[in-house]
Amino acid sequence: MTPVDQVLALVRPDILALTAYSSARKESKGGRAGPEPSRWVWLDANENPETPSVHMPLLNRYPEPQPADLVAQLATLYGVTPAQVLVTRGSDEGIDLLLRTFCRAGQDAILITPPTYGMYVVAAGIQGARTVTVPLIREKNFALDAAAVLQATTPEVKLVFLCSPNNPTGNLLDRAGVLSLVRSLASRAVVVVDEAYVDFSGQPSLAAEIAANPNLVVLRTLSKAYGLAGARVGTTIADPAVIAVLQKVIAPYPVPAPVLAAALAALTPAGLAAARESVAALVAERARLATALAKLPAVKRVWPSDANYLLIEVADSARIMAAGRAAGVVWRDRSKDVPNHIRLTVGTAEENNATLEVLARLSNPPL
């Protein structure tokens, strides 16, 4: 078996056999005979021929299932080929698609490395897949326990989710360790590296390694560094054969026309320059906030971060969260996963000052 065939052997057999829904827009891509497409009469998809004036233009037509110009631009942005790209409704949809494509309900499992992003286990629960856990090593700054992951990857485990930088701990996982795991699991499992926050790390993505390792999948998003969380634009990057299978499972028209317009605007030279500036500002604020937090008695520890948030250890997270709420500042209590730890998003200087003011007040209670 070729390495790609080995990965396809991990796909649910019923999905491999499935005939995908063929949308009108996909079918109309086929024939090129006749007049220019701009002069075609579109009577294939039961659309309304008019755009009511209250709508944005073109909303009466279904969008392209995978808009070619967006796919091409995302491929350039991420340094991969268009055939390795699938545009999804946020990277959350990529997680869900992978679960539904690779895991049979009641039989298969995923592996996660807690504390980590909560959607992996939720998507597994929805699909009826079991979750195997191999904790990150807290004493080593939440490093990956690659040997333990390898050992825990039994034949039921089809997907290994690694988050780098990891949410909520903020650290990048060791690149060489992840790659060695990917190679060791070549014929056994797909390794999904969630790089939602990699833009804030200054480190290269693992996406370039997919060509040599077809069991590697990388998730990226425009939600964080590109400020487009409201538009829902995620990218699943994988071997073209894996993308082709995911295409069978994804909804027929996942990229609404207004979302396409927003994403294309974010990827113009001006949009990209704005994103670079935003990342630089947030990285500088991250350093300022970390230094200031570390000086506050209410803060026991600030974990190093390669992302746009900081995980801090406090004496009593419930008390601190309540003080934040009272002052109208909302953080995320991660105590369920790491006792007495709170995750603070790095915001504007003003927003970060609000965080510091609340925590400073708690550090110096009135006598």
Instruction: Using CB under 6 A, list all residues that contact ligand PLP.
Output: 90-92, 117, 163, 167, 194, 196, 221, 223, 229, 234
Least gap, CB of 255 to ligand PLP (angstroms): 13
Least gap, CB of 283 to ligand PLP (angstroms): 17
Structure tokens at 163: 């988050």
Q: Give the ranges where the chain is alpha helix by DSSP (H).
A: 3-8, 13-17, 24-27, 68-78, 90-102, 119-127, 146-152, 175-184, 240-249, 257-266, 269-294, 317-326, 349-363
Least gap, CB of 194 to ligand PLP (angstroms): 5
Between 196 and 362, whose beta carbon lies closer to ligand PLP?
196
Between 197 and 362, whose beta carbon lies closer to ligand PLP?
197
Between 233 and 245, whose beta carbon lies closer to ligand PLP?
233
Least gap, CB of 167 to ligand PLP (angstroms): 4
Inter-CA distances, 154 with 7, 16, 147, 183, 302, Å: 15, 22, 13, 16, 36
In the beta sheet, which residues pair with residue 190? 159
Least gap, CB of 93 to ligand PLP (angstroms): 7
Between 28 and 347, whose beta carbon lies closer to ligand PLP?
347
Least gap, CB of 318 to ligand PLP (angstroms): 23
Least gap, CB of 36 to ligand PLP (angstroms): 36
Task: Report angle CA 178, 179, 185 to the nearest 5 degrees.
Answer: 90
Residue 131: its H or E element? strand 130-133
In the beta sheet, which residues pair with residue 160? 111, 191
Place of tokens 């290269």: 204
Place of tokens 């027929």: 252
Inter-CA distances, 149 with 152, 157, 194, 237, 270, Å: 5, 11, 16, 22, 42
Task: Indicate the residue whose CB is closest to ligand PLP.
Answer: 90
- What is the spatial distance between Cα 181 and Cα 157, in angstroms, rounded to a whole number? 14
Instruction: Yes or no: say if 155 and 288 are a contact pair by the CB < 8 Å rule.
Output: no
Between 163 and 275, whose beta carbon lies closer to ligand PLP?
163
Between 25 and 66, whose beta carbon lies closer to ligand PLP?
66
- What is the spatial distance between Cα 303 and Cα 166, in angstroms, rounded to a whole number? 12
Place of tokens 């996660």: 112
Between 118 and 188, whose beta carbon lies closer to ligand PLP?
118
Between 24 and 192, whose beta carbon lies closer to ligand PLP?
192
Least gap, CB of 164 to ligand PLP (angstroms): 9
